[in-house]
Amino acid sequence: MTVRAFLIPKRALPALLALVAITAGCRIDMHIQPYYRTMAKSDFFGDERSARLPVEGTVARGDLHEDAYFYTGKIGSNPGGFMPFPVTAEVLDRGRERFNINCTPCHGRVGDGGGFIPTRGFKRPPSYHIERLRKAPIGYFFDVMTNGYGVMPEYGTQVAPRDRWCIAAYIRALQLSQNATSADVPTGQKVPSAPPQFRDIGNGATLPQIALPTAAAAEGEPK
């Protein structure tokens, strides 16, 4: 049995190579698809825009937000005066953590506006302990965190809604801590010890420093 070689005439070789080159460029895979560049013009749609609006009523996954108060802090157009969930020790601990991270650089650790950033020329925020803010409903603080106010930017894209509520609850605790009296202690309970005295309460960039005991106080302490 003999095998005959298939010979291509030399004059047909250039045409064959051209055909191979042409057909090699005809791949149409899924990664090669027609598309519009961002903001490009389209001749297909009547408004000549390639980008289309979502179907009316479309809601992104996780953005249904049926509880309007939880996500806005408002009842209608007015700030609400209650928390949307119970305030526990865990809620206040979370609020303190988020407050110290996001708020103390401007507002200071006790909410008096004595943060680090105002010392560098930024407008000093008002103290939480002025009468106007002590009387403000708690939903007001949530709304300001969400949408910003004055020179304060919005934090709605940086801090989750529940964390914003935790911070608002902690602000209320700060207001109580700076304005409470012995009359506010429930009947039958005693204040276990005097509050610590700080030499420096910190400003968001530095930690609080407890004041050293005075000589007179040190003499009265048991050895």
| % of the chain surpassing 70 pLDDT | 85
Q: What is the pLDDT of residue 88?
A: 97
More confident residue, 39 or 142: 142
| d(C-alpha 107, C-alpha 118), whole Å | 9
pLDDT of residue 27: 62
Q: What is the pLDDT of residues 138-161, one digit of tens each?
A: 999 999 999 999 999 999 999 999
**Residue 149: per-residue pLDDT:** 95
- Cβ burial, residue 193 (10 Å; 0-12/13-18/19+): exposed
Q: What is the mean pLDDT of residues 93-98?
A: 97
Q: 78: alpha, beta or left, given left = phi > 0 and alpha = psi -120 to 50?
A: beta
Query: Which has the minimum average pLDDT: 14-23, 104-113, 129-138, 169-178?
Result: 14-23
Give the separation between CA 30 and CA 28, rounded to whole angstroms: 7
Q: What is the pLDDT of residue 192?
A: 67
User: 61-70, 90-99, 125-134: which has the minimum mean pLDDT?
Assistant: 61-70
Average pLDDT across the chain, whole number: 85
pLDDT score of 200 more than 90: no
Q: Which residues of 40-78 are buried (b: 16+ CB within 10 A; e: fewer)?
A: eeeeeeeeeebeeeeeeeeeeeeeeeeeeebbbbbeeee
pLDDT for res 220: 47
In the chain, the domains with their CATH numbers are 86-180 (1.10.760.10)
Terminal C-alpha separation, the chain? 115
Instruction: Tell me the C-alpha distance between 50 and 43, whole Å.
Output: 8
Q: What is the pLDDT of residue 98?
A: 97
Quick check: 215 pLDDT over 70?
A: no
